[in-house]
Amino acid sequence: MSIGVFDSGVGGLTVHRALVNRLPQADFIYLADQANAPYGGRPGEEVVNLTRAGCERLFDAGASVVVLACNTASAIALRRLQQTWLPGYRKALGRPVNVLGIIVPTIEAATGLPWEHEAERRGDKVEQLDVLGVFSTQGTTNSRVYEIEIDKRKQDIAVFSQACPDLVPMIEADAGAVDLAKAVEGYVQALKNRIGRYPDRAVLGCTHYEIIADIFRAALPAGTPMIQQPAATADALERYFERHPELDPGTGGGRVFLTTGEPGPQNALVQTFWGGPLRFEAA
Ligand code: DGL
C-alpha cells in the first residue's frame, strides 16, 4: 500500500516534499492533473469530477490514503466526495481507504484547535479580533471554506480571504520577481483596504504561493506570522497514521510521479516546487 498525493498540477509538490521528508519510509505516488490545470478558475462541478477521477487513479495504484495537496480541490471537492462518493467506493473496493485535504491541517495550525472543535457564539468587534488573511485562488476564495470552518471553531479569529487570480498564471509563466512583487503588493493592499488594517497573521492558501513566500513576507508588515501549509499538512498526516493503523502507508520508500500531461523530465519550475530534478510517468 502507499500514500497518494493529488494536485491539479505541480504546485502540490511543495506539500508533497514536506510529506516525503516527514514519512521517508512510506511509499508515495504523486499524481499531477496537468492536462486539466489550473483548477482555480474552474466551475465547482468540474473540480469535483476531476478530483474524483484523480483519487480513483491513485486508489487503483494501491493508495490507502489520498492527500489532496491542492486548496481548490480540498475546498470544493473534498466534503462532497467524502459524503457522496467515498462510502460506496470504499465498499466496492473492499478495503479501508480515505481522502484527506490540506485545509483542515491549515485551520488546525491557524486556530490551534482540532477539527472537531465547535466554538460558542461571540460578538467581538474586528479591532479586538485576531485577524487572519487568507490568500488563495478565486475558487478557494469563492468557497469561503476558511471563513466558515474557522468561524465554527474559533470566533475570536476574523478571517478575510483575498483571491489572487493572477498569481498562478504568472508563476507558471515564469514571471520575474519585480512583476510578482507588484502583483502581491496589490493583493495585500486590497485586503488591507477591506479590513481597515493589515491582518495579524496570513495563510498562503495556494500551493504555488509557497515558492513566493518571501515576496508575501516583504509585502506584509515585518514579522507577520505566516501559516505554511506543507509543514502543517505533514504534521497532520503523521498524526493521522498514528490514529489509523488500519491504513497502510507502505514501508518501501517508493516514489512514483504520474501526470495526465506531458511525461518525461520536468522543467525548472517543477524543479523549484520539488526542490530537484524529477521525471513524470504517464498516468
Ligand atoms: N493547486 C491549486 C491550489 O492550491 C493552485 C493551482 C490551480 O489553480 O490549479 O489552489
**Within this chain, do residues 90 and 118 fall inside the same structural domain, yes or no?**
no
Of 201, 228, 255, the one marking the end of a domain is 228
Q: Please report which confidence band the pLDDT of residue 121 belongs to, taking 50, 70 and 90 as the band edges.
A: low
Catalytic position from the list 206, 236, 258, 283: 206
**Within this chain, do residues 67 and 149 fall inside the same structural domain, yes or no?**
no
pLDDT at 153: 83
pLDDT tops 70 at residue 126: no
206 catalytically annotated: yes
What is the 8-class DSSP label of residue 121?
P
pLDDT at 128: 63
**Within this chain, do residues 100 and 234 fall inside the same structural domain, yes or no?**
yes
**Within this chain, do residues 133 and 177 fall inside the same structural domain, yes or no?**
yes
Question: What average pLDDT does the structure give for the chain?
Answer: 94
pLDDT digits (tens, 9 = 90+) for 20-45: 999 999 999 999 999 999 999 999 99
* Across 226-249, average pLDDT: 94
Distance CA 268, CA 246 (A): 39
Query: Which is nearest to 14 in space by CA: 208, 156, 191, 150?
Result: 208
Residue 214 lies in a domain: yes
Q: Are 261 and 34 in contact (CB under 8 A)?
A: yes
> Could you give phi then psi for residue 264, rounded to 5 degrees?
110, -170
Residue 109 lies in a domain: no
Q: Please report which confidence band the pLDDT of residue 115 belongs to, taking 50, 70 and 90 as the band edges.
A: low
Total of domains in the chain: 2
Which residue out of 46, 71, 142, 164 has the highest number of ligand 1 atoms within 8 Å of its CB and is therefore the one to mutate?
71
Residue 202: Cβ-neighbour burial (10 angstroms; 0-12, 13-18, 19+):
buried
* Across 216-234, average pLDDT: 95
Residue 98 lies in a domain: yes
Of 186, 203, 228, the one marking the end of a domain is 228
Query: Which is nearest to 24 in space by CA: 45, 8, 3, 42?
Result: 3
Residue 265 lies in a domain: yes
Distance CA 105, CA 94 (A): 28
Least confident of 50-64, 112-126, 134-148: 112-126
Domain that holds residue 89: 2-104+230-282
* CA 74 to centroid of ligand 1, rounded, Å: 10
pLDDT tops 90 at residue 189: yes
8 ligand 1 Cβ < 6 A? yes
* Across 141-169, average pLDDT: 93
**Within this chain, do residues 192 and 56 fall inside the same structural domain, yes or no?**
no
**Within this chain, do residues 11 and 61 fall inside the same structural domain, yes or no?**
yes
* Across 60-67, average pLDDT: 97
pLDDT at 156: 86
pLDDT tops 60 at residue 127: no
102 ligand 1 Cβ < 6 A? no
Grid cell at residue 116 = 472537531
* Across 51-55, average pLDDT: 98
Distance CA 67, CA 2 (A): 11
pLDDT at 119: 66
**Within this chain, do residues 9 and 56 fall inside the same structural domain, yes or no?**
yes
Least confident of 11-25, 108-122, 124-138, 233-247: 108-122
**Within this chain, do residues 15 and 96 fall inside the same structural domain, yes or no?**
yes
Query: Residue 268 belongs to a domain with what CATH number?
Result: 3.40.50.1860
**Within this chain, do residues 255 and 118 fall inside the same structural domain, yes or no?**
no
**Within this chain, do residues 66 and 162 fall inside the same structural domain, yes or no?**
no
Share of the chain above pLDDT 70, in %: 95
User: What is the residue with the minimal CA distance to atom 2 of ligand 1?
Assistant: 70
**Within this chain, do residues 120 and 201 fall inside the same structural domain, yes or no?**
yes
